[in-house]
Chains A and B, each alone.
Chain A
């Protein structure tokens, strides 16, 4: 620990140190040192030179000099492909160029009277200008002025809003997040229109300058969680954040745990529902996955469809999911334990048929199970990575070949194939991919424990997993809450999916700010007294 702390200089300082070392070393090629914090000067020529040296060797940055009213020199700077060129031409360049020769050319007048663009921002320093240009807003600087203005005319190619492929629903909204943060915030804002919905802007990544937004509902979300999320994001000092998955790893509580402590989703309706329950969402530009904190183990097992269908069906589906979670975690290890240590528990007829099909198999059950499970995981992975056209074909053929041929060749037994297939199906019932990945991974140590200590080994494994889950927290919330520590009002959304008119209180976490989310007695009833 102590050694680690010595080496932990902030990255910026380490970079400076490196640069100083380079400067000392005369052979190293110096980058043009431009003081980007400096304000714009009133000389257009000087400003242009500075910008050109900042954007040295950047062929995609366009400099377009022009005259306002044929008199005053001005310069337009933008990045090719990030800005809406037609709009710039129509609403900015042509009115400025065609304006009267003797007009007032202070920046404020230009913004107020000449430029027909709704989103205009005044910039006074080089760093601000560079930031605006990088985010796609063209910047115009004018001669004799110590400030310029940025036009919010960014426009780039992005994927349209479509149904998320990893989180399908039969009933419920079909929109999914995209890679552009502005579209994502609008998808949430369209669902929660109250001004109480806040979006705190942040930034991370030394080079990527990735935009991050912390969304929460004021008065519903726990302030301490918001603060904690903000401080954890502020702490990040890295080169770049390319996906919310990277951010997740920097902000979670226990990075060594196999269990995800942050809920990630592509669905705006899930984010909105969680915001309404008092959680906090973190949006990352460039990623269609929005992070939700704090996440508990049970929230990873909830699907949005539980809430859109009838509650009885939602409850039974939820129980089915819990059951198959156990199946996907324990079935292969139970099979191994029963066959290796506890044959007496298997009914006689079943034992005979299993023994008959295992007669030819040269491996002990433990090796057989490990082999088949690894093969299944490999098939699944291959199915994901292969090109779409061949992916499904290959996985089917692979399964058939391995299932059929391996059994008839006597390498594996048919019951084992059934067990592995059932486990595979079971792991797909878990709605969050990250949670099902954790379960899939834990299956292997469980098989190993079952093969060495039988049912006792399985039980020790269960105890180990539960103790681990009891240890971890997500942003202050115990991971197994509301079961341990027991909170009854949270249980009605865990053990069952209580009908909506019964879910009066928020399944709240640490802060008890705004307990009630609906009025009492909203249970509908039929009209009585008519014939």
Chain B
């Protein structure tokens, strides 16, 4: 195996949760609110269907090919040439996705806090740290996530609790004013985030015990739904119809926090907390990109290409959009279809083909032993 580390299902859940949520809590309220208005809190619930679909696809494909990622089994399913082509497309998608996420982070920090700092510094410092984590392997990322995710989650809940004095629950009415359609329209964007659950396809082969993977994946989806609904509700309670006018409604909400005139202007703290989450997200995306590439060109180790790749992705992030408006437009209009194509249609096609041809990985033992010997060569 190219990756020698093994993680538990809990660690997988704790890695995937911030991978979905980190950018969603920032951008999603405004984007869904644009379409769904006061029904925006319902959109994540509809959109979660996409999450369950992605989990279903990833786990079904993994059941057929337990020790392989999509890069490897696409070659088995549709043949070497077509499989390689699919793998290449997938790698390009992953790298682009990682770059865009990095840019989202960069735009957010630059736009709100460090106006005078060059974007390259903000992006570069983050991708460097992420590359360090990725170089450590999936175990190191999982352990880092186990430190950050509980802390970040607790602090996020505290921030939401501190906002309680400012909320107006009446903003949620009238429910279903224009029927179900607005909330469904809002759900299309949220679905893009839920489709990212397909990243578990890159972690399932490295689980120590695969038995509870379905259960924990579903728990993670539910946790993501709850977080998104709560975030949307809180921003709706605070801003009402104004929500879509902000780019980062949660951050605007954090400016309202004022306890005893002493704790105030918490937005920088919220940013710092959020950086802990986005770090996990970018690390996971960078990891799967690097891993896919290494598997695609059949390297025996992915570590040597981490830093060069991180540099490329930093540049990609820098080029991915002219400005924050263009980025937002991309996320709103292009990304749902983009994600649907790669994270739903492509895997569905692979799964259907594999099922139709009755393909399973029979020579698992051969694979692992040859990979193990490759690993031994490296250690020498």
A463–B276 CB distance below 8 A: yes
| B147, CB-defined interface residue at 8 Å | yes
| B148, CB-defined interface residue at 8 Å | yes
Separation of A480 and B140 alpha carbons in the complex (Å): 10
| B272 CB contact (under 8 Å) in A456, A466, A480, A485 | A456
Contacts of B239 in A (CB 8 A): none
How many contacts A-B (CB < 8 Å)?
93
Closest chain B residue to A480, Cβ basis = B143
| B189, CB-defined interface residue at 8 Å | no
What's the dominant secondary structure at chain B's contact region?
A: helix
B129–A463 CB distance below 8 A: yes
Contacts of B10 in A (CB 8 A): 486
Give 23 CB contacts A-B under 8 Å. A341-B114, A344-B264, A345-B264, A345-B265, A345-B266, A345-B268, A347-B261, A454-B268, A455-B269, A456-B271, A457-B125, A460-B126, A463-B276, A463-B279, A466-B147, A467-B129, A467-B132, A467-B136, A467-B140, A470-B136, A484-B147, A486-B10, A486-B146
User: How far in angstroms is the closest Cβ of chain A from B320?
Assistant: 21
- How many A residues touch the partner, as a band? 20 to 34
| A169, CB-defined interface residue at 8 Å | no
| B113, CB-defined interface residue at 8 Å | yes
Contacts of B136 in A (CB 8 A): 467, 470-471
Separation of A460 and B274 alpha carbons in the complex (Å): 11
B144–A484 CB distance below 8 A: yes
Closest chain B residue to A337, Cβ basis = B268
B11–A459 CB distance below 8 A: no
Contacts of A456 in B (CB 8 A): 109, 113-114, 122, 271-272, 275
A477-497 Cβ-contact flags toward B at 8 Å (1 or 0): 010100111100000000000
Contacts of B146 in A (CB 8 A): 480, 483-486
| A342, CB-defined interface residue at 8 Å | yes
| B129 CB contact (under 8 Å) in A345, A455, A464, A484 | A464
- Asked, given contacts A458-B272, A459-B276, A460-B129, whether A483 binds B147 with beta carbons under 8 Å apart, the answer is yes
List residues of A whose CB falls within 8 A of some B CB.
341-342, 344-345, 347, 453-460, 462-464, 466-468, 470-471, 478, 480, 483-486
User: How far in angstroms is the closest Cβ of chain A from B54?
Assistant: 26
| B142, CB-defined interface residue at 8 Å | yes
A342–B129 CB distance below 8 A: no
- How many B residues touch the partner, as a band? 35 or more
| B22, CB-defined interface residue at 8 Å | no
User: How far in angstroms is the closest Cβ of chain A from B55?
Assistant: 22
A467–B133 CB distance below 8 A: yes
B51-72 Cβ-contact flags toward A at 8 Å (1 or 0): 0000000000000000000000
Contacts of A458 in B (CB 8 A): 272
Contacts of A462 in B (CB 8 A): 276
B275–A460 CB distance below 8 A: yes
Separation of A399 and B246 alpha carbons in the complex (Å): 51
Contacts of B114 in A (CB 8 A): 341, 453-454, 456
B93-129 Cβ-contact flags toward A at 8 Å (1 or 0): 0000000000000000100011001000110011001
A345–B269 CB distance below 8 A: yes
Apart from A459-B272, A460-B129, list 18 A-B contacts with CB within 8 A. Answer: A341-B268, A342-B268, A344-B264, A345-B264, A345-B268, A347-B261, A347-B264, A455-B268, A455-B271, A456-B275, A463-B148, A463-B276, A467-B133, A470-B133, A470-B136, A470-B144, A484-B145, A485-B146
Separation of A173 and B143 alpha carbons in the complex (Å): 37
| B262, CB-defined interface residue at 8 Å | yes
